Amino acid sequence: MALDEIIISRAIIERYHEKLTENLETDVAIVGAGPSGLVAGYYLAEAGKKAALFERKLSIGGGMWGGGMLFNEIVVQSAALPILEEFGIRYRKYQDDYYTADGIEAVASLTSCALKAGLTIFNCVTVEDLMMRPDRVEGLVINWSPVEMTGLHVDPLTVCAGFVVDATGHDTDIVKVVDEKMPGRLNTSTGGIVGQKAMWADRAETDTMQNTKEVFPGLYVAGMAANATAGGPRMGPIFGGMLLSGQKVAQSLIRRLDQTS
Domain with residue 205: its CATH number is 3.50.50.60
Report if pTM > 0.95: yes
In a domain, 61, yes or no: yes
Cα maximum dimension of the chain: 66
In a domain, 55, yes or no: yes
Full residue range of the structural domain in which residue 134 is found: 23-65+103-260
Q: Angle between the 35-46 and 240-260 helix axes, to the nearest 10 degrees? A: 40
Q: What are phi and psi of 157, to 5 degrees?
A: -120, 170
Low-confidence spans in the chain with pLDDT less than 50:
none
In a domain, 11, yes or no: no
- Give the count of domains, the chain: 1
In a domain, 86, yes or no: no
Q: Count Cα neighbours of 85 within 13 Å in the Cβ-side half-sphere.
A: 7
Decide if 137 contacts 178 (C-beta within 8 A): yes
In a domain, 49, yes or no: yes
First to last CA, the chain: 49
Decide if 207 contacts 235 (C-beta within 8 A): no
Distance CA 128, CA 134 (A): 19
What pLDDT, on a 0 to 100 scale, did the predictor assign at position 244?
Answer: 98
In a domain, 126, yes or no: yes
Distance CA 58, CA 68 (A): 21
What pLDDT, on a 0 to 100 scale, did the predictor assign at position 64?
Answer: 94
What pLDDT, on a 0 to 100 scale, did the predictor assign at position 134?
Answer: 83
Query: Of how many residues is the chain composed?
Result: 261
- Residue 185, Cα to own-chain centre: how many angstroms? 22
In a domain, 15, yes or no: no
Decide if 244 contacts 206 (C-beta within 8 A): no
What pLDDT, on a 0 to 100 scale, did the predictor assign at position 219?
Answer: 98
- Residue 187, Cα to own-chain centre: how many angstroms? 20
What pLDDT, on a 0 to 100 scale, did the predictor assign at position 260?
Answer: 85
In a domain, 170, yes or no: yes
